[in-house]
């Protein structure tokens, strides 16, 4: 399910059925407890709906590089942080 969510370009709705909603809410709780910094701010934006799938999509959109330039910038940040 998360791979499908990652590929979405529009907001993900988690109200299709109760089981899906429970899983989404559980995912949101996990993300809220595991994130820090900028990622935590993204998670907090979804506090009202507690839609874990949409929150996951937003995190992926922020942190997964889409272009070669973004990949290079991300790699540079990683290597600079280790130095």
pTM of the model: 0.77
Cα-Cα-Cα-Cα torsion 53, 57, 58, 61, nearest 10 degrees, comes to 170
| Digit-coded pLDDT (tens) for 5-62 | 888 888 998 888 999 999 999 999 999 999 999 999 999 999 999 999 999 999 998 8
Look at residues 44, 38, 55, 49 and name the one whose alpha carbon lies nearest to residue 2.
55
Name the token pair of 36: 């820090």
């Amino acid at each position: 399910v998360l791979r499908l969510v990652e590929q979405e370009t529009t907001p993900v709705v988690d109200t299709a059925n109760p089981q899906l909603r429970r899983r989404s809410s559980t995912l949101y709780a996990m993300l809220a407890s595991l994130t820090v910094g900028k990622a935590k701010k993204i998670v907090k934006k979804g506090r009202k709906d507690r839609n874990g799938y949409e929150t996951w999509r937003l995190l992926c959109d922020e942190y997964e590089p889409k272009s070669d330039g973004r990949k290079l910038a991300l790699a540079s940040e990683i290597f600079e942080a280790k130095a």
